A and B are shown apart, each in its own frame.
Chain A
Amino acid sequence: MPPGLDNLKHIVVLMMENRSFDHMLGAMKKEDPRIDGLSGSESNPDSTGAPATVQPLADFQSQLDPDPDHHFPAVDMQLFNGSNSTPRVPNMQGFVNSYFQQRRDSDHSHKIMYYFTPDKLPVLTTLATQFAVFNRWFASIPGPTICNRAFAHYGTSFGHVGMDVFYVNTVYSSIYQRMQQAGRTAKIYYYDQASSTMEIVNLLKDQPQFFGTFDQFLADCKAGTLPDYSFIEPNYSDHDGDSGEVLASDQHPDHNVQAGEIFMASVYNAIRQNPSLWQSTALLILYDEHGGIYDHVPPPQCQADGFVAQPKDTGTGSPFMFDRLGLRVPAVLVSPWIPKGTVVSPCNAAGTIDNQRIFEHASIPATVTSFFLNNYDQRSPREKSAQTFLDLLSLEDMRTDDVSFDF
């Protein structure tokens, strides 16, 4: 086993909200052509048929209002722009038309094509540059938050494609239960009680022992008492906290993106500042789904999940077999055992596609299970086929360079 894995004791996942790969990291292609971002010429037709081109004009706040639709029918529109060809092939041409439906304002609908330049996102882009960035990490479903986050916790959404309350079956346990049953430790850290968690009816209600606050995460990092596996949820709303006003840090439109950058930095610094934790932890920062915002890479087909979402649930008039991934999201893996400037690409050195390097949220429980629990068979078909990512900790010697953030 590589030394990085010999030393690995903790996996930490921070899942942010609703931003696409191209929106956050697409501009990095200009600096590093290995990153599959934007050329600058990508476009979508607007409501008049004129091309709306990608623009480096993304703002931190007050731009994507109303919240771009990212429910299943809207994402179907974004991917196919109304095309019903057989077989259906995503053309990624319906983002502007989808956003236009919400305000009927053609100029405003162009903003769905806006992206950030790296200087505006110093935390995410620095971590992407310093450690490993994934060219092909997709949401698990072309749909909204709850069902996508379920894949991170269970390796499946149990047939759900929306936001409704649903109850898990007893076949597939959460990664937290699996860890506990094996004598391991795992925790979900939500920001504070006013923000709370998105894992309510199945985890918080019945298994509060798996939860902690972000305050406790910081304390656990300092004390070296972090669990084997940690999942962190950002702050989902602007609200009053114990010591004043607290800005939402989830980056969900129209929340402030810089507050999310600070939150990421605080997670990273907390790990980085404890030397023994730093050398024994892998931190994955990613987003749950694209939030209706443009990305140029068509989501690929994937292993069906054994569930079927009926037409009344998909809202498209067709069932969904869970055989296509959602849109691409930013994902960065951080560890001192990763070579600086790693770009995880589905293409091999010869430039041909290698599907072994395509990831989705089921890759999270798949990786945690593979590393901590070895053989655990009671998992969804999607999780069993999902790629794991710890092979990226490949260095023979731990890096000694020191990147930290000041905020």
Chain B
Amino acid sequence: MTIIRVPKPAAGAFHKHRPVSDLLRWQIRHMHEAEKLLPHDHRTGINIDAIKTEGEASSYIRKVTEKLVSKVHLRHVFPVPRPQQGSMNKERPISQLRKQQMTHFREIEKTWPAAKQTGIDTELVKTEAEAAVYIQKITAMLHPIVRKSAAGAGKG
């Protein structure tokens, strides 16, 4: 058996500050395209235009590759921020949308016998809370239900 010795690289051959090659530059671009499809908090936040050296490139490519091959991003729970305290404003003046919604309900109520009507003058309804009370009364008559309000979503 003939053994051919293969010389080791010379000491000092390692050069992580070498400028990135065209090949590496393309690899970074491809990595970046793939990274953009990751969830926001799984992205590196690295500006690839600032990558100048092989060391920086390898660091970036390692991070993205880890994310891409990791199963972590395949099973990910995104935190959704809650509105700040004080976001609730029942006294907010009603919007045109809500006002028109009441007009539509009033159109129906007018066709009912007086005893069934709410007695609420919708012209005097000024706030979201007041509008909600009126709309709830009419909806309850049109679509009676016994369930409670939806839990969880949009709570103040």
Interface contact B154-A247, CB-CB below 8 Å:
yes
A266 at the interface (CB under 8 A from B): yes
| B residues less than 8 Å from A205 (CB atoms) | 108, 142
Tell me, in angstroms, the Cα distance from A58 to B118 when the chains sit together: 40
Given A61-B83, A201-B107, A239-B129, residue A403 in contact with residue B39 (CB < 8 A): yes
Interface contact A218-B150, CB-CB below 8 Å:
yes
B108 to chain A, nearest CB (A): 5
B37 to chain A, nearest CB (A): 5
Q: Annotate A8-36 by CB proximity to B: 1 below 8 A, 0 otherwise.
A: 00000000010000000000000110000
Tell me, in angstroms, the Cα distance from A17 to B128 when the chains sit together: 16
| A residues less than 8 Å from B73 (CB atoms) | 401
B5 at the interface (CB under 8 A from A): no
Interface contact A405-B129, CB-CB below 8 Å:
no
Of the four ranges (under 10, 10 to 19, 20 to 34, 35 or more), the interface on chain A belongs to: 35 or more
Interface contact A213-B145, CB-CB below 8 Å:
yes
| B residues less than 8 Å from A242 (CB atoms) | 148-149
Interface contact B76-A402, CB-CB below 8 Å:
yes
A242 to chain B, nearest CB (A): 4
Binds A, one of B12-20, B21-29, B49-57, B89-97: B89-97
| A residues less than 8 Å from B59 (CB atoms) | none
Given A247-B155, A403-B76, residue A237 in contact with residue B132 (CB < 8 A): yes
In the complex, how many residues of chain B place their beta carbon closer than 8 angstroms to a beta carbon of chain A? 56
The residue of chain A having its C-beta at the shortest distance from the C-beta of B89 within the complex is A238
List residues 113-144 of chain B with CB under 8 A from any CB of chain A.
128-129, 131-133, 135-136, 138-140, 142-143
Tell me, in angstroms, the Cα distance from A136 to B67 when the chains sit together: 32
A256 at the interface (CB under 8 A from B): yes
Binds B, one of A188-196, A317-325, A353-361: A188-196
Interface contact B104-A122, CB-CB below 8 Å:
no
Tell me, in angstroms, the Cα distance from A205 to B153 when the chains sit together: 27
| B residues less than 8 Å from A405 (CB atoms) | 77-80
B9 at the interface (CB under 8 A from A): no
Contact of B88 among A192, A245, A260 (CB under 8 A): A245
The residue of chain B having its C-beta at the shortest distance from the C-beta of A69 within the complex is B96
Interface contact B135-A214, CB-CB below 8 Å:
no
Interface-central residue, B40, B151, B154, by most chain A CB under 10 Å:
B154
Interface contact A258-B74, CB-CB below 8 Å:
no
B63 at the interface (CB under 8 A from A): no
| B residues less than 8 Å from A214 (CB atoms) | 150, 153
A373 at the interface (CB under 8 A from B): no
Contact of B78 among A190, A240, A404 (CB under 8 A): A404
Given A122-B79, A246-B154, residue A194 in contact with residue B36 (CB < 8 A): no
Tell me, in angstroms, the Cα distance from A237 to B143 when the chains sit together: 19
Interface contact B80-A201, CB-CB below 8 Å:
no
Given A205-B142, A241-B149, residue A403 in contact with residue B78 (CB < 8 A): yes
Interface contact A200-B104, CB-CB below 8 Å:
yes
B44 at the interface (CB under 8 A from A): no
B92 to chain A, nearest CB (A): 6
| A residues less than 8 Å from B74 (CB atoms) | 400-402
Q: Annotate A99-130 by CB proximity to B: 1 below 8 A, 0 otherwise.
A: 00000000000000000001100110110011
Interface contact B153-A262, CB-CB below 8 Å:
yes
A284 at the interface (CB under 8 A from B): no
B7 at the interface (CB under 8 A from A): no
Interface contact A254-B139, CB-CB below 8 Å:
no
Interface contact B155-A244, CB-CB below 8 Å:
yes
A372 to chain B, nearest CB (A): 24
17 pairs of residues in contact across A and B, judged by CB atoms under 8 Å: A32-B36, A122-B40, A129-B37, A193-B136, A193-B143, A193-B145, A198-B97, A200-B108, A201-B108, A217-B150, A240-B90, A245-B156, A258-B80, A258-B87, A261-B81, A262-B80, A341-B37
Spell out A's residues near B (CB within 8 Å).
17, 31-32, 60-61, 67, 71, 118-119, 122-123, 125-126, 129-130, 144-146, 163-165, 190-198, 200-201, 204-205, 208, 211, 213-218, 234-249, 252, 254, 256, 258-263, 265-266, 340-341, 400-407
